[in-house]
Structure 1
Amino acid sequence: MKNYYSRRLSALNLVKCYELATPRIKEYLDAELDFALSYISNNSAVLDLGCGYGRTLPAIALKANSVTGIDISSANISLAKELLSDLSNCVLKKMNAANLRFSPDNFDVTLCLQNGISAFNIDPKIIITQSIRVTKPGGIILFSTYSEKFWNHRLDWFILQSRAGLLGEIDFSKTQNGIILCKDGFKSATFSVNDFRILAKDISNIKISFKEVNRSSLFFIINKLL
C-alpha cells in the first residue's frame, strides 16, 4: 500500500511509535545510529532518506558538516522543521527517494536507515541507483534492514503499535519469514544479504559489503568508487 507512512504514520503518530519502543528496541535504534555515525566526519555532507520527524538528525548534525533530511510526508517535514529549528547545518525537504532532486556527486554519506528500503514501498533498485547517483565518488551509502535474529523483538514492537491504533490489525496467518502484514494492507518486509547482492549485481563502479550490528540490524554498505 503506497504512502502508508505518509497517510497514517507521520508526524505525531510516528513519534508515538518510538514512544512505544521497549528497552531492546531502543538498544537496536541506538546501535543502528551509532554504526551510521561511525562513517560520518566533521567535513561530511550527509543525506538522510526518509528522515521522518527528524529523530536521528540532531546526532547526525552534531557530527557532520551538513545534513539534508528528506521525507515524502509534508507533516513529517513540518514537525521536523519545528523541532529542529535551532540546527543551523540541517536542511529539510519534502521529496520522494525515487526521484532525488539533487545534482550528481553531491553527498559524502547517504543514509537509508530503519528499513526504509522496505518502508518506502517503491522499487528498491531505484532507491539504490538514485542514492549512488547523488553520492560523491569515494563516498558511502548505507542501507539498513532488520536482522533475522531480531524477529521476535520486531514483531512485539509492531504488535504494540497495532494495539495502540497506529497500525491496522496484524494478520498473523500471513506474518512470517521476516514479513509483517496488517489487514489494512500495511506490509513490512526485510532484505537478506542475497537480496542486496541481487539488487546490486548490475551496478558498476561500486564495492559492496555487509555488517550485522547488535543482532538487530543488517547493513548493506556501498562504496562508490573513485
Structure 2
Amino acid sequence: MDEKYARYLLGMSKGGYDLIAERFSDTRCFFWKDLGGLLEYVNSGDRVLDLGCGNGRLFGAIKEKGGDYHGIDNSEKLIELAKKNNPQAEFQTADALNIPFGDNYFDKVFAIAVLHHIPSLKLRLDFLKEIKRVLKQNGVLILTVWKLSPKKQVWRVLLENAFLKIIGKSKLDFKDIFYPWKDFQGKVLTQRYVHLFSSKELNDLAKRAGFTIKDFGETERGKDKDTNLFLIASK
C-alpha cells in the first residue's frame, strides 16, 4: 500500500470514530474481563500511556493499580467523552505516530485494539517504533489486536479483496478489510479499516521494531466471544 493512501485511510478512520463516538463509548462503558490479566504488568508508581484510549475506560483499572495514567487518542470526540467521564485524568488529542512525549518517558504502554487500524506495513512498523521510543529501557508494551476470524463472511471479503488486489483493482493490502459500524436499525454509519493479523505476523512485526517478546496468546473479547491476540514485549 502506498503511503498516501495509507494516510487517507488514517484520516477516514479518525473521521469515522468522531462520527460514532457517543455510540462507540456506550459499548465501551465497562472494563472487559479479558483485559484483566494484562493489568498484572502495571506496578504502583508506573507511568502508563493508554495509546488509543477512546473514552478512557482503562483509567479506573490502572489507577487502582497505582499507575500514573496518561491517555491519548486521535478522535477529538472520544477525548471529549474521556475527559467528561474521568475529569481527574490526563487526556489529550494526539497522533499515535507522533506521540507528544519525550524519549524513555513511560514504564508501560497499553495499545488495546489499535494496531489493526493502522494501514500499511510501514506505518504499523512506525507505530511500534514510536512506542519503543517513549518507553523506558526495559519498559513494557501491552498490546492487543483482532485475530484473523474463521467466520465465513470475513473470509469471503478477504478473498474478494485479494482477487481485486491481484488484478490491480484494489489499493488495500492482503488481509485488509473494511469493517462496518451499524446503528440499531442496521444502517452503516462508517467503515473502519482493519488489518487482520496472524500470530506469526504480529510476533515478527514486534521483533522487527526491536522489541523482545515476553508473552503471547489469545483472549476472548466482548460478548460475541471473538478472539484477540495479545502480546507483551519489552524494550
CA offset at residue 82 of structure 1?
Answer: 1.4
- Could you list the structure 1 runs, at least 4 aligned residues long, displaced by more than 6 angstroms after superposition: 175-178
Q: Which residue in 1 is equivalent to 2:140?
A: 140
Identity rate of aligned residues, in percent? Answer: 23
**In 2, Cα distance between the equivalents of 1:79 and 1:197?**
33
Q: Which letter maps to 1:216? A: T
**TM-score normalised over the length of structure 2:** 0.70
Measured against aligned partners, the alpha-carbon deviations of 1:191-225 in whole angstroms (never above 9, x if no partner) come to 22221233234444x3114122237221122112x
Higher relative strand content = 2
For residue 230 of structure 2, the aligned residue among 208, 219, 223 is 219
Where in structure 2 are the equivalents of 1:44-193 lying within 5 Å?
44-85=46-87, 87=88, 90-114=89-113, 116-121=114-119, 123-148=123-148, 151-152=150-151, 174=160, 179-181=176-178, 186-193=192-199
Q: Which residue in 2 is equivalent to 1:8?
A: 16
More displaced, 190-199 or 48-57?
Answer: 190-199
SS at match of 1:98: coil
Where in structure 2 are the equivalents of 1:188-207 lying within 5 Å?
188-204=194-210, 206-207=211-212
**TM-score normalised over the length of structure 1:** 0.73
CA offset at residue 185 of structure 1?
Answer: 5.7
Whether the 8 Å CA contact 1:174–1:181 is kept in 2: the answer is no
SS at match of 1:60: helix
CA offset at residue 175 of structure 1?
Answer: 7.5
**In 2, Cα distance between the equivalents of 1:49 and 1:61?**
16
CA offset at residue 41 of structure 1?
Answer: 1.7
SS at match of 1:36: helix
Whether the 8 Å CA contact 1:174–1:180 is kept in 2: the answer is no
CA offset at residue 99 of structure 1?
Answer: 0.7
Q: Which residue in 1 is equivalent to 2:43?
A: 41
Q: Which letter maps to 1:222? A: A
**In 1, Cα distance between the equivalents of 2:27 and 2:70?**
27
